[in-house]
Amino acid sequence: MSHEPSSVAEARRRVTELIREAGICMLTTIALDGRQVSRPMGLQEAEFDGDLWFFAYADSAKVRQIRVNPDINVAFSDQRRHAWVSVSGTATEAYDRARAERLWRPLLRTWFPDGPDTRGLTLIKVHASSAEYWDSPGGTMVNLLGFARAAASGRPPEPGENREVPY
């Protein structure tokens, strides 16, 4: 369901909802040779207060890239709801044992077999400078009808809501 947010606070709440519903995202960093590199990541913090948290290995390429160039983008896609979020900001390696224990989920053992005690485990903290989202009105049927109407009438379909949210 799409609705026009009445305030920045409401828009931020909507970003939080969309991020929570998507869960998995693409984290894009800048490689040492200047290329943009994206990889799927699982979000560990559901409440979006401007910071996002991810588990990683301290010697991974993404962490090495962030140390050199902290500029990142995190993109979420929720195909079921036809909604997308793009978060721009900066990332830092920010390991904190208490936070790691609080954020830990059993599924993470697939990648980090010894849990929070996994050797080389670290946290990536992404601090958002802005977020942009696209929130499509209704479900697939509404979108398909919108595009069908556009083809018949020659007018572009209603694209849904797009909003840039400062942080």
**pLDDT tens sequence across 59-68:** 999 999 999 9
Going from N- to C-terminal start, the domains of the chain cover 8-166
Separation CA 59–CA 63 (nearest Å): 7
Q: What are the beta bridge partners of residue 28?
A: 38, 73
User: Mean pLDDT across the stretch 87-106?
Assistant: 92
* pLDDT, position 119: 95
Rounded to the nearest 5°, which phi and psi values hold at 116? -60, -15
Contacts of 122 (CB under 8 A, 6+ apart): 55, 56, 57, 58, 63, 93, 95
pLDDT at 50 over 60: yes
> Which of 81, 32, 23 has the alpha carbon at shortest distance from 54?
23
Domain 8-166 coded CATH 1.10.3720.10: no
Q: Quick one: pLDDT band at residue 148, thresholds 50, 70, 90?
A: very low
Token pair 């990541």 is found at: 41
